[in-house]
Structure 1
Amino acid sequence: MLERYFRPFEAGRGLQEQLRENLLSAILDGAMPPSEPMPSSRALCELLKVSRNTVVLVYEQLVQDGYLIPSDRRGFFINEKYLRQQLNVSLKPATQKIFERPDHAPDWEARLQSSSSQLRAIVKPRNWREYRYPFIYGQVEADEQTAARWRDCTRIASTGAHMRSWVDDQVMLDDPLLIEQIVQRVLPKRGISVSAQEVMITIGTQNSLYMLAQLLGRPGLVMGLEEPGYVDARNIFGLRGCELKALRIDRQGLVVNEQLEGCEMLFCTPSHQSPTGVTMPLYRRLELLASARERDFLIIEDDYENEQNFLGSNHPALKSFDDSGRVIYLGSLTKSVLPGVRLGFIAADAELIHELRALRRYMYRHPPSNNQRTLALFLSMGHYDAHARRLRDRLARKWRVISRAMAEHLPEFNASGMAGGSSLWVTCPPGVDAWVLQRLVARRGVLIEPGDIHYLSEPRPLNCFRLGFGAIAEELIEPGIAALGEAWRELKAPHPSPLPEGEGA
């Protein structure tokens, strides 16, 4: 009966961990009657082809945790009393529900005050790794050296004084070591000088934007957004009832002119415009700040991918020139390292940070303190800087490869973006539908992302897409672009007209 609970062991995970999970599933599902002993360690090791020590150690752990009871010469039995206490139910099959009629269900459509699921959002395929040529944005190629160093920092964070820094509920506070690293090491590289009271940790840029929308947004507030621009910012402020205003960009980023008139707040990405990748020059950054003072609006600066310029030095952040407190700076700490960790920060006037902390308390208090300490150690030990250097070198090589491949295989296409970042914004020849192209290239194992979702204004152009190259191996870029070129030539090739009825064989 237990056999169906033993899934094939996964590579890269400990055998004890997986065996414990499988045994617990069987125990909690009632697969073994409490009156019968568990399989012997000898029988189980023969069945699973693992060492007997592995089975014995797992059984002993389950005894220590209260799930099993050892019995001399009889083996291990399920601790039924403990399970009843833990689950607060008997091991018998669940009784029938009291209410079975569907008309007792609440009318959610009538109760919901907004419907986030109906918003147009970027959707990325969960199986993107199954594509041979995944030109997907926002994911990273595995870096074993970085992963190993992160594991080391996690281990160190779990010991001694470090552990005492995150065991307690910090309520409204953040890890002081992480704040110190951001203030003294991260922000100075962007030309920004702030105090510890002007920084707050968040669980990523979307979370930062959501809290800012709650505090600063309101129905009718005119919110300026780059066109094309960052979809999540558009949706977050749209949910708050803000009036969204599309702002034109060119090859130097957001255009600073009379189009900013009437904006009360705007969101921009000067370092690498999202999604086109172009960089705003210094003179225009200064013009934007002057316009903010003159027209009295706030600026939310998303400084993603700021360390990834391949030619020349990085431009200072917009906030580094701000002497009026109008720029709210958003930083991402883990997007290019381990995207799933989800840690970022906001740097802004202390008064706004104080209110953000008060709001955050009622949302989730603070990001997990153990992750904050792990990241603080990762920064303080120089691992973050080392990762950034390796990533910049790797992306620079990929950028050169993909630029040459685009010129060779898709000369009719225009790829914009400066020498930096991890993606290219591609404009197809007129009349080409990127969604049709996407479906065609998918048959060749190529994944691309159509770009019409990034536009607010109608009609949205359909002849653009984004090519992310952060997650694809360098040696696969050129053949992937070649496959994309083959699909394009197939798409533009004239198709033979069908024969008139009655003709042909």
Structure 2
Amino acid sequence: MGISVDTFFLKPDAQGTLQAQIQQMIAEGILSGRFHVGEKLPSSRKLASHLGISRITVTLAYTELLANDYLTSRGRSGYYVSDNAPVPPSYTPLQRTEETVDWNRAIARRFTGGDTLHKPSNWRDYRFPFIYGQADPTLFDHANWRLCAVRALGQKDFASLTADYVDQDDPLLIEFIARHTLPRRGITAKPEEILITLGAQNALWLAARVLLNRRRKAAIEDPCYYALRELLLQARCQVAPLRVDVDGLPPDAIPHDTDVIFTTPSHQSPTTATMPLNRRHDLLQRAREIDAMIVEDDYEFEMAFLAAPSPALKSLDRDGRVIYVGSFSKSLFPGLRLGYMVGSEAFIREARALRSLVLRHPPGHIQRTAAYFLSLGHYDAQIRRVSAALLDRRKAIESAISDHGLTIAGRGAYGGSSLWMRAPKTVDTTILAEKLRAQSVHIEPGEPFFSGPEKPKNYFRLGYSSIPVNRIEPGIEILARSINRAE
């Protein structure tokens, strides 16, 4: 029995090449049980004519499926579903009745209900997406990333693709970070002092788990990265939120019984304040006095298009008490989930052991692809391209904000990709953001960044990494009108 050619059609929104789409159609038909062992496929000529594509495309797809044992060829007769093709399981699904589990009792710890920001999955459909931390596809070097990924899939890199590193990392990526990335921040480190993480969030979690327990206290900035505060609360340590000023975290406000200080000195999150050099020395001195560790989150240091970034706090550290956290999420793309942490060997040893218990190591293929992209110079070229675009957008957004009378509460001294904004005190920006969605404008309310019961409601963040220059002024105009109506 033959498979009807009418069962094949190309989806208009399908991803990948035509050859890949045909392979996927046939493989899905076999795996779902629609196509059975021994059934004949339409001829390449007939299927090509039906789909309106080249016959060679269909032939190549059939050949690939033949190599993977999904299909078999019978002389001049054509292609058939192979006897060795995967067979879908034959079983009768268990009919579920009403659940009787008391989940309120069964769940020992809850991780929901904390402060977080709503980032709509369809943000690209917004006409005015003032969203933070998302990649602009027009600025990303897709072609060279693809080439690096293909290279990492080659026979030469078979081990990096398939091997279980246990608790180790890709040596090429570690070498690049040690020899190129860290020296730009004034940091020197041995391979034993560097650990690859699944983004900065994973690094912060590891640091908290290694350094804190219920008897210890963590000092954090207020406002701060909301996910950091949540993970510290889940660690059940004592948390001391310290209100930042125009220069970031004030060292003299840090309690004497603090064990770990979490800070973003180069680009405070979310106010974007840059900590001056003298305060950085004061912060290190305060940490020495109370014998506290410092976790430095140095996100966005690459986005320095206004001035050279200040040296990292870690570069001033002489007694090993600073743990440095970096990430490629902002400079490449957030979905990469690749970051790193640098610290004394004794600390990294424990963090490495903890990481291996949870996820062993980030995928080897992703590490090797990133290593190629960085070492071949594509990363630096992308940073220059993104920085130039951000500079144009920064000029446009500051001009529009000035023209429409809005108030900037914080702007990065050397660049970045967002502005910290303040609306009149009578404006609740959570409500404002909800109303703006109907006008295809996305902003980020500032309330989740603050600690305590009395959180200011009139702050918000404007990201400009993913909005075209020509849409910035119209979007700010809509925002300004909405704020004026909300007062």
Q: Which TM-score band applies after superposition, normalised by the shorter structure?
A: over 0.9
How far residue 279 of structure 1 moved from its aligned partner, in angstroms, is: 0.6
> 2:51 aligned with 1:65, yes or no?
no
> 2:105 aligned with 1:102, yes or no?
no
Distance 1:388 1:144, change over 3 A: closer
Aligned residue for 2:262, secondary structure, equals: strand
How far residue 167 of structure 1 moved from its aligned partner, in angstroms, is: 3.8
1:131-146 correspondence runs (5 A)? 131-143=126-138, 146=141
- 2:408, 2:419 within 8 Å by CA — same for their partners in 1? no
Tell me, in whole angstroms, the C-alpha distance in 2 between the residues paired with 1:200 and 1:18: 39
Tell me, in whole angstroms, the C-alpha distance in 2 between the residues paired with 1:6 and 1:115: 46
- 1:32, 1:38 within 8 Å by CA — same for their partners in 2? no
1:223-242 correspondence runs (5 A)? 223-242=218-237
Aligned residue for 2:86, secondary structure, equals: helix
> 2:455 aligned with 1:452, yes or no?
no
- Residue aligning to 1:17: 20
Structure 1 unmatched ranges of 5 or more: 493-505
How far residue 198 of structure 1 moved from its aligned partner, in angstroms, is: 0.7
The residue type paired with residue 43 of structure 1 is: K
- Residue aligning to 2:302: 307
> 2:444 aligned with 1:471, yes or no?
no
The counterpart of 1:413, out of the listed 407, 417, 437, is 407
- Structure (1 or 2) with the larger CA radius of gyration: 1
Tell me, in whole angstroms, the C-alpha distance in 2 between the residues paired with 1:108 and 1:283: 52
Structure 2 unmatched ranges of 5 or more: none
> 2:442 aligned with 1:439, yes or no?
no
- Give the count of matched residue pairs: 483
1:234-273 correspondence runs (5 A)? 234-273=229-268
- 1:247, 1:260 within 8 Å by CA — same for their partners in 2? no
Tell me, in whole angstroms, the C-alpha distance in 1 between the residues paired with 2:239 and 2:136: 35
How far residue 239 of structure 1 moved from its aligned partner, in angstroms, is: 1.0
How far residue 491 of structure 1 moved from its aligned partner, in angstroms, is: 3.2
1:344-423 correspondence runs (5 A)? 344-409=339-404, 411-419=405-413, 420-423=415-418
The residue type paired with residue 174 of structure 2 is: I
1:180-199 correspondence runs (5 A)? 180-199=175-194
- Residue aligning to 1:129: 124
Task: State the Cα deviation string for residues 209-266 of structure 1 (Å, max 9, x = none).
Answer: 1222222221242111111101111111211111221111011111121343322112
Distance 1:152 1:96, change over 3 A: closer
Tell me, in whole angstroms, the C-alpha distance in 2 between the residues paired with 1:429 and 1:38: 67
How far residue 5 of structure 1 moved from its aligned partner, in angstroms, is: 6.2
TM-align CA RMSD: 2.1
Distance 1:4 1:137, change over 3 A: farther
Distance 1:412 1:388, change over 3 A: closer
370-379 or 182-191, which deviates more? 370-379
The residue type paired with residue 205 of structure 1 is: A
- 2:69, 2:84 within 8 Å by CA — same for their partners in 1? no
Distance 1:102 1:149, change over 3 A: same
- 1:204, 1:332 within 8 Å by CA — same for their partners in 2? yes
How far residue 384 of structure 1 moved from its aligned partner, in angstroms, is: 1.7
How far residue 390 of structure 1 moved from its aligned partner, in angstroms, is: 1.9
The residue type paired with residue 41 of structure 1 is: S
Moved over 6 A (4+): none
Tell me, in whole angstroms, the C-alpha distance in 1 between the residues paired with 2:381 and 2:359: 32
- 2:427, 2:483 within 8 Å by CA — same for their partners in 1? no
